[in-house]
Amino acid sequence: MEDGVGLAKLIPPLAKSDWLKNNQDKVACIFRYGQKGEVVVNGVTYNQEMPGQKYTEVQITNIINYINNSWGNDFGVVTLKESTVALRNCK
């Protein structure tokens, strides 16, 4: 997991992930509540449920900033305020 490439067709990559780049608004909620159903990342379809976890707003902000800026990713930085607002509005 350290290299951000995921695991076969079970877990999609985070490194250079087009999905991550284009869905920044969804990421915080996914960490808290998980995600079900199909997701297409870099042209490959994945369909394995990701469980959510009881992360705090601070932890989620830090994780997002980490994955946004590791492995060659350059997807920006989120603030604690932005994460908190996003988490309040999860569907």
Partner 1 sequence: MRLTAILTIAILSLINTSCKDNTSTALPKLGFKKVVDNEEVDHIVKDWSFLNSDSIRVTNKDLSDVVYVSDFFFRSCPTTCPKVAREMKRVYTEFESNPQVKFVSFTLDPKRDSPQKLKEYAANLQVRTDKWWFLHGDKDETYDLTGEYLQIGFEDEDAPGGFDHSGKLILTDKAGHIRSFSEGTDPDETPKLIRDINTLLKEYESKN
Q: Which stretch binds partner 1 (CB under 8 A): 13-21, 47-55, 59-67, 77-85?
A: 47-55
**∠ CA(7), CA(9), CA(15), 5° rounding?**
50
Q: Tell me which of 37, 38, 43, 51 binds partner 1, using CB under 8 A.
A: 51
CB of 48 to partner 1, least distance (A): 6
CB of 41 to partner 1, least distance (A): 13
Binding footprint of partner 1, residue count (CB under 8 A): 14
- Distance of alpha carbon 35 from alpha carbon 26, whole angstroms: 10
Enumerate the β-bridge partners of residue 48. Answer: none
Smallest CA-to-CA distance from 81 within 50, 73, 19, 64 is with 64
Contact yes or no for 12/27 (Cβ under 8 A): no
Enumerate the β-bridge partners of residue 68. Answer: none
If one asks whether residue 9 binds partner 1 (CB under 8 A), the answer comes out as: yes
Q: Which stretch binds partner 1 (CB under 8 A): 20-28, 51-59, 65-73, 80-88?
A: 51-59
If one asks whether residue 46 binds partner 1 (CB under 8 A), the answer comes out as: yes
